[in-house]
């Protein structure tokens, strides 16, 4: 293996370890020290690959985006209900996403670019999927481009309410209610 | 003045100063040192009133809730469009709210209780207002109790997209689109 490939392998191994630590101990428990220990590196060795906790967490979220990705041509709005159901079963990564999203809106935060670009891409993908399914207008009269930011907003906003109070907020049922507002036939 | 009243006055003065610093310098610029300087206290003196930055920020958000409050009997859904328009003019406090909400979903965060209780209260107030306006069902068929979490989620979620990319996301227009989905006549 070339040095470059070895370094990429190592990075991938660290990201997987971080995901495990997040799932077991949550966002706060996912310290660089805990991740370093799991992959048998010193903290100094880990910092060589990821200079900050934020950089490592962004890498984890980028990796999740890869795993969650559906080819643009295959994308359908009703797949989102499956995604929200699935998210309700993995609070660790959703907590990490939500905490980092919160921090990212502050000045000069290292995750700001990731989230800004992610949202631009997600809004575009959703608008395309809505257009393929409904044409220029949804049953409720909105255009796909005006519906996309609302879809994203509801998913993110419900995650906060659910993470804070999982007994009171049924994230999956609430998201289905929203899709019904859009005119989707939902089961 | 009694000692208790003097202490309360001092706290109120600190909270107002924190709001000013947030408006001028944003969430990250609002250090305890900057707030202490503005009210002529040492940082040690400030810590006597607020032991952490998070405790001070929660006090700022609680104070904002007081100022934004509308009596339950006066509450109407279309007032939310005014609130969202207003929020779009005060990014500093919205950034503080959003950043702290993000952090609050992590284990043992000092703002967790504030946000959990706030959302329980806001969902209840919104459900009551929707019920007073529409009865048991909104024009779209949802109950008030199932609509309330969606209203909150859209407001919060749009704030993140807008804070990250204010040029691309028109928070006020997007929120009006959502109210139209609910069947509200919106201008």
pLDDT digits (tens, 9 = 90+) for B121-167: 999 999 999 999 899 999 888 999 999 999 999 999 999 999 999 99
H helix runs in A30-143, sequence order: 32-39, 43-49, 53-68, 79-87, 91-104, 112-134
Note whether B103 contacts A107, CB cutoff 8 Å. no
Lowest average pLDDT, out of A83-97, A122-136, B65-79, goes to B65-79
Q: How far is B93 from chain A (nearest CA, A)?
A: 11
Side-chain half-sphere exposure of A129, counting CA atoms within 13 A: 20
Residues of chain B with C-beta less than 8 angstroms from the C-beta of A29: 107
> Could you identify the residue written with the tokens 């703002």?
B111
- Structure confidence by residue, pLDDT tens digits, B21-34: 999 999 989 999 99
pLDDT at A75: 80
Domains (range + CATH), chain B? 1-61 (1.10.10.60), 70-187 (1.10.357)
Q: Which of A126, A160, A180 to mutate to test the interface with B (most CBs of B within 10 A)?
A: A160
- Structure confidence by residue, pLDDT tens digits, B1-52: 677 788 899 999 999 999 999 999 999 899 999 999 999 999 999 999 999 9
Spatial separation of the C-alpha atoms in residues B121 and B134, rounded to whole Å: 20
Chain A residue with minimal CA distance to B181?
A181
The answer to whether the CB of B163 falls within 8 A of the CB of B91 is: yes
Q: Alpha carbon of A95 to those of A4, A37, A90, B157: distances in Å?
A: 32, 22, 9, 15
Q: What is the mean pLDDT of residues A113-142?
A: 93
Note whether A153 contacts B158, CB cutoff 8 Å. yes
Name the DSSP letter for residue B74.
Answer: G
CB pairs under 8 A between A and B: 151
Spatial separation of the C-alpha atoms in residues B148 and B161, rounded to whole Å: 21
Q: Residue B9, exposed/middle/buried by CB under 10 A (0-12, 13-18, 19+)? A: exposed
Interface predicted TM-score of the whole assembly (ipTM), two decimals: 0.92
Residues of chain A with C-beta less than 8 angstroms from the C-beta of B149: 158, 161, 169, 174
Residue B35 belongs to what H/E stretch?
helix B32-39
């Amino acid at each position: 293996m070339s040095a470059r490939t070895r370094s990429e392998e190592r990075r991938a191994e660290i990201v997987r370890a971080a995901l495990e630590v997040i799932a077991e101990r949550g966002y706060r428990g996912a310290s660089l020290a805990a991740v370093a220990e799991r992959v048998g590196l010193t903290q100094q060795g880990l910092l060589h690959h990821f200079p900050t906790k934020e950089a490592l967490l962004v890498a984890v979220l980028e990796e999740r985006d890869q795993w969650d990705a559906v080819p643009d041509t295959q994308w359908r709005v009703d797949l989102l209900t499956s995604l929200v159901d699935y998210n309700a079963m993995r609070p660790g990564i959703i907590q990490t996403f939500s905490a980092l999203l919160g921090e990212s809106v502050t000045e000069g935060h290292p995750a700001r670019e990731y989230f800004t670009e992610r949202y631009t891409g997600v809004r575009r993908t959703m608008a395309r999927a809505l257009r393929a399914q409904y044409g220029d207008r949804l049953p409720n009269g909105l255009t796909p481009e005006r519906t996309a930011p609302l879809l994203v907003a509801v998913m993110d906003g419900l995650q906060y309410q659910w993470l804070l109070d999982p007994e009171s907020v049924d994230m999956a049922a609430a998201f289905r209610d929203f899709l019904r507002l859009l005119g989707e036939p939902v089961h």
